[in-house]
Amino acid sequence: MKKALLILLAILPLSLASVGTTVRANAHSAVDKTSLWAGVYDELNLERMGLQKEVFDYALRGLQKSTFAKSILSIVDLSQPSTKKRLYVIDLDQQKLLFQTYVAHGRNSGELMAASFSNTFSSFQSSLGFYQTLNTYQGKHGLSLQLKGLEQGFNDNAFSRAIVMHGADYVCEDFIRKTGRLGRSQGCPAIANAVSKDIIQAIKGGSCLFVYSPSPDYLQKSTFLL
């Protein structure tokens, strides 16, 4: 018994040292990855693509507040009109812009610009904040992607409201030519049918989706942006 205790006491400091080294290594790795990701904005020339640096920085900040299964970051920039390609799907590790395309906002959020946002049922408005992508399913819009809102009071009712990413025929340049804007959804980030399957397959299964607008209420109260 005494011999076993001595062996345990001899091993314990080594075990603790190993744990400490692993923790420091993981922390260092996280810092290195964050630094690498911060350079993606300039590497991909996202300013030329219409994405403000401030919005990208907000997205990276929120990305670190939760655990995501993929290094793919999707940004819906609702500070831009719906006639702009304001959905950006970025592979941070590979430093690639996978998609830049049109995305609709909720019909009660505004016409050309999204100005009003809600987390309530039957509001037919978009909800701001950070989401985690979940599983796909076949619905009335074809292949659709479930979303989990991560921010209490801003988008945490998204799953119950059936806010999903799906394809829609009103998300296309022909609709813009006829009406001067994209069609609008019931609150979902709807995208063009032509690219919906590819985008949904790329971001499904635990990646980060950030829906942004310069709403003072959101910017001041979001715990993900602190």
Strand partners, 89: 74, 99
Is the pLDDT at 69 greater than 80, yes or no? Answer: yes
Spatial separation of the C-alpha atoms in residues 116 and 72, rounded to whole Å: 27
pLDDT at site 164: 99
CB-count exposure of residue 81 (10 Å: 0-12, 13-18, 19+): middle
pLDDT-based confidence at 29, cuts 50/70/90? low
pLDDT at site 35: 81
User: What are the residue boundaries of the structural domains of the chain, listed by start?
Assistant: 19-225
Location of structure tokens 């403000």: 52
Strand partners, 143: 138
Helix axes 53-63, 2-38, angle to 10 degrees: 170
Give the Cβ contact number of residue 18 at 10 Å.
Answer: 10
Spatial separation of the C-alpha atoms in residues 46 and 49, rounded to whole Å: 5
pLDDT-based confidence at 13, cuts 50/70/90? low
pLDDT at site 191: 99
Q: How far is CA 137 from its chain centroid? A: 19
- CATH class of this structure's domain 19-225: mainly beta
For the chain, how are helix, strand and coil distributed in percent, rounded to 5?
A: 35, 25, 40
